Amino acid sequence: MNGVRKFLVVGLGNPGQEYAGTRHNIGYDVVDAWAQASTARFSPDRYGDRAQITLKGRTIVLIKPNTFMNLSGKAVRYWLETEKIPLENAVVVVDELALPCGTTRLKLSGSDGGHNGLKSIQEVLGKQDYPRLRFGIGADFAKGHQIDYVLGPWNADQHEPVKLGIERSIKFLESFVLAGAATAMNQYNQ
């Protein structure tokens, strides 16, 4: 572990009421839930809303970018530089079609998998190796309806797996901060 006791967690999503509660905004929902559980409050800042929590002597900066998904990289780079946080201490929370609804998986590198938020981050940072917590949203849509599904609200039968997935995501992120990526992956990768 590098000696830095500061972490950045970026929940990807789109700003605006019309995107609230949609599958694509699960990153926002995870950092919102973590902030609420820690009684932290988000306030508007450059390139997004920012909250800060402390966990056993470690500082965690939570960010909800307001750059829209396709420009997420600008917000990630800005907050890494502003807070002087090394990339290995940053986690991007992102929706993932390839995982069943509510499933969580931490990856330390990989392609963008067609996700515009990850694509932007990789273009801006010029690298693919950064931690991302993939939150499964399932792929229960007809051919040609992926965008409607991703930008749509959760189905009634998805509410419980999503709630449990958000709770697991917070434990996952706490483990990442306190014990490191390998331990977190051993404990919580599904």
Q: Which residues are catalytic?
A: 24
Residue 18 phi/psi, 5° resolution? -65, -15
Structural contact between residues 76 and 90, judged by C-beta atoms closer than 8 angstroms = yes
Residue 105 phi/psi, 5° resolution? -150, 130
Write the secondary structure of 24-56 as one string of H (helix), E (strand) and C (coil): HHHHHHHHHHHHHHCCCCCEEECCEEEEEEEEC
Label residue 6 exposed, middle or buried (CB < 10 Å: 0-12, 13-18, 19+).
middle
| Interacting residues of 187 by C-beta distance below 8 A, sequence separation 6+ | 171, 172, 175
Query: Per-residue DSSP letters for 131-150?
Result: -EEEEE------TT-HHHHH
Q: Which amino acid is at 179?
A: A
Sheet of 90-96, strand order:
43-45, 48-55, 58-65, 6-11, 90-96, 132-136, 104-107
